[in-house]
Amino acid sequence: MLKNYFKIAFRNLWRHRVFSFINILGLTVGMTACFLIFLYVHFELSYDSFHSKANRIYRVVCDIKTPTEVIKAGGPSWAVGPHITQDFPQVEAAVRTTDDELLVRKGNVKFQELNSLWADSAFFGMFDFKLLKGNPKTVLQEPLSIVFSESAAKKYFGNADPVGQTVLLTGEGFTAKITGVMKDIPENSTVKADMLVSMSTLTRKLNPGLDDQWGNYGNSTYVLLKPGTRPGDLQAQLPAFLERRNGTEMKKINMYPTLFLEPLKDVYLRSTRNGNSTGNINNVYIFSWVAVFILLIACFNFVNLTTARSAERAKEVGIRKVVGAVKGQLTGQFIGESVLLCAISFILTLVSTALLLPSFNHLAGKTISTGIFENLNFVLILFLAAIGIGLLAGVYPALVLSSFKPVTVLKGRFSTGTKGQLLRKALVIAQFTISIALIIATIIVYNQMNYMRRQDLGFNKDQMMVINTNGDPAKDAFRNAVAGLPNIKGVAMASSVPGGGNPAAYSEIENVKGVLQIANLDLYFVDFDYIPQFKIKMIAGRAFSPDFQTDTTQSMILNEAAVKMFGYTSPAQAVGHRFKQWGREGRIIGVMKDFHFRSLQLPIKPLSMRIEPNGCNLVAIKLSTQNLPKTIAAIENKWNALIPARPFSYYFLDEFFDKQYRTEERFGKLFLNFSVLAIIISCLGLLGLASYSTMQRTREIGIRKVLGASVPNIVNLLSREFLKLVAIAILIASPVAWFAMHGWLQDFAYRIEIGWWIFLIAGLIAVLIALATVSFQAIKAAIANPVKSLRVE
Amino acid sequence: MIRINDLEKIYKTEEVETIALNKLSFQVNDGEFVAVMGPSGCGKSTLLNILGLLDDPDSGSFLFNGIEVAHFNERKRADLRKKNIGFVFQSFNLIDELTVFENVELPLIYLGVKSDERKKRVEAMLDKMQIMHRRNHYPQQLSGGQQQRVAVARAVVNKPKLILADEPTGNLDSSNGNEVMELLTDLNEQGTTIIMVTHSEHDARYSHRIIRMLDGQTVTENILA
């Protein structure tokens, strides 16, 4: 019996090649999209879960309340880590890390290691990063110990054993011994490092006393709780812990931290304290939904095409029933056919996923998966999903087909014209609703991207090359040498450029009531050239000027947001008032217009600027557009002459600033791709239905033509019914998409308005695509000779 | 073998009510060959469907081998049907996607006959119908007469006690038609009961008895043999 089913299923697939092709193609495209999304979602959810103790590891984060604001910090003060283990027996271990960009040198091999990390000695006991060489308990114990990743070891030592060898950490001015080699940290880890330096180097050699600094922030702290410890219980005891350890100082400086425990597994997707390089649980949800929708569209195609074709199968059903089949057997047969179809699609999905994976990894910006067989469970899941889809999509058509009465179908009184038509229409509407909603969403995402890129940021980022001197003593000499080169329009030095990080300083600023108000104020150290070179506008007072001796130590410039925060109603009102910040005090000499020093997702924060040559490690060079390669080569020459110990590397500010939107850009691209897929699958279905319905109406078309209908009349007749469905879909999709995207846009402090034209364009696109799909069939039917079509009956 | 009493079947659509069978009663004995005749719309086909357990009557009694089957559910009817009844249609109703062999094999599959036993029986039947050489062909590749022989082969392969033929020669020319009628006569002589609906007086003469219907009722019965 099974053999018979298979035989007939295969022959049916072959006889109706077009339908099978549409069905299989639609399912394959849908399943491929879903499989890729599944890999992506799985990857995003897999972050940090490979640690065997992941469920007991928490990141300690911190809200710091000042009289002015609440700062959401990604880590507690330096003292918390060492003391929390002392005070709480339920804390098994604590690890502090802080990232750095160390200049590492081994003979002539030198690299600025952008991904280096200082870490406490319990690091390898807490995390499951695999140590290939060295003792996990001791590798990071002694000061001046360094653990290399496999690739870092290769970079410096080739195939030689690095353990016991030394490298020079030039910037820090000491030699470190390599105590271990670890496997490269996997992509799906929030803790990332190419090399680890023992934290004791900092706490015992370079910065003794760091372990007791309760007011100094800037590290990440992880704690490992003993089994059975409830994090909530521990968290509830932390305020008392801080009070006991640091109460007096908190009161004195009027900054009150509150500690929270974030499960390690939530850090990547759910924490808002990671800066730019993080995932977003909403994106995971969004893509999961997109996957479900795409799959639904593909399944609807299947249901539509199969039920539309039911007339052709009706006779077979009748005969089988006459010769003794019962309904259950036939239902089984038809479901079997749809499962077979899905099984074929499954194989094709594997092939297409394997082919698409490299580009998908590229699109996602990381290696989501190295190959489809990387995890055989996934293939199994896909297979089961395919069978599940086959069952699900097959059930309805199978029930419809198997319930045909042999009496009716064998006597030819059977008409499929109206049967299931309503359902088919509803499914087409659903497909197009999803597609149109995706089109609308894509347009909005791209618009927002464009808006962010084109928005006037309030400063000039064009032709601006930035070089990090990492505080090299020769930085001023380098600056002066560059300034003397041709085709250089200006050189400025600063601690920070827009789009990068900047310090935040404990500050006291005289507010509108004349009181020194405490705030954690973002801070740029700059030189005299910075404000004019970046074309930052002054709206009150004056910019820094070498003409004023006091400017190097006693002057501060605020932005509008800061002025507002301290209660001033006009920028001019703030000028002349006092400030205290990081050991300096003086007067506010000017107010600058707000500029976007962070991404447009975030509101412009209050910002202060001061002249502080020591703090200025970045050299920002404004280039003329002429002879760019030659100019860059000249700059490199100067660098190599003056700072030979460091590798020369630079970036352009405009690209650097736009990097902040990389996540959104990827999101947009992925979204665009999947929308296109959804539309393709919907159109495949529409194509099938259109060709089917024209086929059924061949006779009607013939009669109409004999009675005088023109080709356009016929095309109009056939297209109209489908366009009606698309129109309904537009009406449903528009408000739904508006609502969803309105929510999405809330993540951006500066965002576009959702204009009515977006819906108009999306609707037009959908109508045009549908029309193109349908009219092809319609025209074919309309120009056919009516004599032929009438003879069909 | 068959005894029907006061059988009634009414088709209802939104506007009209059609009485297809109006208190119809008659009886067919084992081994009989009965032809049912009458103008279009007299209820012949409805009668055949009910006799074939493809449809159920609205009221009345239908004894099949002494068992009341008028209100059997679908599963029971299917079971009774596949064991006892073979069908031959005017339009052959072969499955286009299956070969001659596979079409004939179908009833045996649903009866749960083992594969090698099936092969034996199907081949014997094809031999008997002289279409063995066509066993791997598809229905579209056969002439009408050959198709109807396949259909007859399929109807009798499971040795049914009753064959219901619905205008079996309607789509055939006269020589092919005669061949099919000979086939049915042979089967009848071997003991199979046959009820045949036909428009053709010529075909009807092959039967023992003609039941003439009008408006859902029998009007006359002619005994021929």
Q: How far does B167 lie from chain A, in Å, by closest CA?
A: 12
Residue A667 CA to residue A674 CA, distance in Å, equals 11
Residue ranges of domains in chain A? 2-43+282-451+665-791, 54-267, 464-660
Residues ≥6 apart with Cβ < 8 Å to B42? B213, B214, B215, B216
CB within 8 Å: B55 and A407: yes
CB within 8 Å: B110 and A323: yes
Structure tokens at B134: 């066509």
CB within 8 Å: B78 and A407: no
The b/e string for A491-526 (b: 16+ C-beta within 10 A; e otherwise) is: bbbbbbbbbbebebbbbbbbbeeeeebbbbbbbbbb
Choose between A370 and A159: higher pLDDT.
A159
The b/e string for A104-133 (b: 16+ C-beta within 10 A; e otherwise) is: bbbeeebbbbeebbbbbbbbbbbbebebeb
The minimal CB distance from B74 to the residues A4, A7, A326 is found for A326
Residue A323 CA to residue A36 CA, distance in Å, equals 46
CB within 8 Å: B98 and A318: no
Q: Does the model's ipTM exceed the 0.90 cut?
A: no
Answer whether residue A180 shows pLDDT above 80. yes
The minimal CB distance from A410 to the residues B81, B89, B105 is found for B89
- DSSP 8-class letter at A142: S
Which segment of A26-40, A650-664, A693-707, B131-145 scores lowest on mean pLDDT? A693-707
Answer whether residue A415 shows pLDDT above 70. no
Minimum Cα–Cα distance from A12: chain B residue: B97
Residue B111 CA to residue A329 CA, distance in Å, equals 12
Answer whether residue A188 shows pLDDT above 70. yes
**Which residues of chain B are within 8 Å of residue A309 when distances are taken between CB atoms?**
none
Residue A517, helix vs strand vs coil: strand
pLDDT at A787: 67
Residue A709 CA to residue A784 CA, distance in Å, equals 13
CB within 8 Å: A319 and B95: yes
Residue A668, burial from CB neighbour count under 10 angstroms (0-12, 13-18, 19+): buried
**Which residues of chain A are within 8 Å of residue B154 when distances are taken between CB atoms?**
323
pLDDT at A792: 44
**Which residues of chain B are within 8 Å of residue A8 when distances are taken between CB atoms?**
95, 97-98
Q: How far does B109 lie from chain A, in Å, by closest CA?
A: 6
Answer whether residue A35 shows pLDDT above 70. yes
The minimal CB distance from B102 to the residues A4, A329, A410 is found for A4
Which segment of A617-626, A677-686, A745-754, B23-32 scores lowest on mean pLDDT? A677-686
Residues ≥6 apart with Cβ < 8 Å to A635? A465, A467, A482, A485, A621, A650
Residue A493 CA to residue A616 CA, distance in Å, equals 6
pLDDT at A664: 82
Residue A516, helix vs strand vs coil: strand
pLDDT category, A412, cuts 50, 70, 90? low
Q: What's the whole-number mean pLDDT along residues A433-450?
A: 91
CB within 8 Å: A315 and B97: no
pLDDT digits (tens, 9 = 90+) for B177-198: 998 999 899 999 999 999 999 9
pLDDT digits (tens, 9 = 90+) for A636-654: 999 999 998 888 999 999 9
Residue A333, helix vs strand vs coil: helix
CB within 8 Å: B110 and A15: no
pLDDT digits (tens, 9 = 90+) for A233-247: 999 999 999 999 999
Percent of chain A with pLDDT over 90: 57
CB within 8 Å: B93 and A318: yes
Closest CA to A176 of A144, A207, A202, A213: A144
Structure tokens at A648: 């020369």
pLDDT category, A413, cuts 50, 70, 90? low
Helix residue ranges, H only, A323-458: 327-364, 376-402, 406-410, 421-454
Q: How far does B225 lie from chain A, in Å, by closest CA?
A: 31
Q: How far does B191 lie from chain A, in Å, by closest CA?
A: 20
**Which residues of chain B are within 8 Å of residue A315 when distances are taken between CB atoms?**
93, 95
pLDDT category, A716, cuts 50, 70, 90? confident
**Which residues of chain A are within 8 Å of residue B52 when distances are taken between CB atoms?**
322
Q: Which DSSP string do the residues of A233-251 spell out, in sequence order?
A: HHHHHHHHHHHHHHHHHHH
The type of residue at B160 is: P
CB within 8 Å: A405 and B55: yes
Q: What's the whole-number mean pLDDT along residues A305-328?
A: 81
pLDDT at A790: 60
Minimum Cα–Cα distance from B50: chain A residue: A407
Q: How far does A413 lie from chain B, in Å, by closest CA?
A: 13
CB within 8 Å: B93 and A327: no
- State the Rg of chain B over Cα: 17
**Which residues of chain B are within 8 Å of residue A19 when distances are taken between CB atoms?**
none
The b/e string for A585-602 (b: 16+ C-beta within 10 A; e otherwise) is: ebebbbbbebbbbbbbbe
Tell whether B92 lies on the interface with A, counting CB pairs under 8 A.
Answer: no
**Which residues of chain B are within 8 Å of residue A321 when distances are taken between CB atoms?**
54, 78
**Which residues of chain B are within 8 Å of residue A316 when distances are taken between CB atoms?**
95-97
Q: What's the whole-number mean pLDDT along residues B2-17?
A: 85
pLDDT digits (tens, 9 = 90+) for A488-500: 999 999 999 999 8
Q: Which DSSP string do the residues of A595-647 spell out, in sequence order?
A: ---S-TTSPPPPEEEEE-GGG--EEEEEEPSTTHHHHHHHHHHHHHHH-TTS-
pLDDT at A793: 36
Q: Give residue for tokens 């056939």.
A: A718
pLDDT category, A418, cuts 50, 70, 90? low
Sign of CA dihedral A544, A548, A553, A556: negative
The minimal CB distance from B95 to the residues A316, A327, A412 is found for A316
pLDDT at B220: 79
Residue B125 CA to residue A76 CA, distance in Å, equals 90
Q: Give residue for tokens 């490199």.
A: A636
Do A65 and A256 touch, CB atoms closer than 8 A? yes
pLDDT at B30: 92
pTM of the predicted protein model:
0.83
Residue A36, helix vs strand vs coil: helix
pLDDT digits (tens, 9 = 90+) for A331-385: 888 888 888 889 999 999 999 999 999 999 988 888 888 888 888 888 999 999 9
Answer whether residue A275 shows pLDDT above 80. no
Q: What's the whole-number mean pLDDT along residues B168-184?
A: 89
Interface of B with A in 132-161 (CB under 8 A): 154
Distances (CA, A) of A7 to A2, A94, A337, A457: 8, 65, 10, 67
Q: How far does B106 lie from chain A, in Å, by closest CA?
A: 7
Highest mean pLDDT among A71-75, A370-374, A391-395, B72-76: A71-75
pLDDT at A261: 96
Interface of B with A in 15-54 (CB under 8 A): 45, 49, 52, 54
Q: How far does B110 lie from chain A, in Å, by closest CA?
A: 6
pLDDT digits (tens, 9 = 90+) for A718-757: 888 888 999 999 999 999 999 999 998 988 899 999 999 9
pLDDT digits (tens, 9 = 90+) for A502-542: 988 999 999 999 999 999 899 999 999 999 999 999 999 99
pLDDT at A604: 94
CB within 8 Å: B106 and A329: no
Residue A95 CA to residue A748 CA, distance in Å, equals 34
Return left, alpha or beta for A292; rule: phi > 0 is left, psi -120 to 50 is alpha, else beta.
alpha
Q: What's the whole-number mean pLDDT along residues A107-133?
A: 92
Q: How many CA atoms lie within 13 A of B210 on its CB side?
A: 15
pLDDT at A280: 85
pLDDT at B225: 60
Tell whether B80 lies on the interface with A, counting CB pairs under 8 A.
Answer: no
Closest CA to A644 of A169, A101, A115, A108: A108
Residue A485 CA to residue A511 CA, distance in Å, equals 45
pLDDT category, B134, cuts 50, 70, 90? very high
- DSSP 8-class letter at A190: S
Residue A175 CA to residue A167 CA, distance in Å, equals 6
Answer whether residue B172 shows pLDDT above 60. yes
Distances (CA, A) of B195 to B210, B218, B225: 10, 15, 15
Closest CA to B108 of B118, B100, B116, B99: B118
SS (H, E, C) A647-704: CCCEEEHHHHHHHHHHHHHHHHHHHHHHHHHHHHHHHHHHHHHHHHHHHHCHHHHHHH
pLDDT digits (tens, 9 = 90+) for A649-671: 999 999 999 888 888 888 888 88
Tell whether B116 lies on the interface with A, counting CB pairs under 8 A.
Answer: no
Residue A611 CA to residue A625 CA, distance in Å, equals 29
Mean pLDDT score of chain A, rounded to an integer? 89
pLDDT at A108: 82
CB within 8 Å: B81 and A322: yes
Answer whether residue A416 shows pLDDT above 60. no
- State the Rg of chain A over Cα: 34
The minimal CB distance from A323 to the residues B49, B79, B106 is found for B106
Q: How many CB atoms lie within 10 A of CB A576?
A: 11
Highest mean pLDDT among A144-153, A364-373, B153-162: A144-153
Which segment of A59-73, A206-220, A263-277 scores lowest on mean pLDDT? A263-277
pLDDT at A384: 93
Q: Give residue for tokens 């105590």.
A: A179
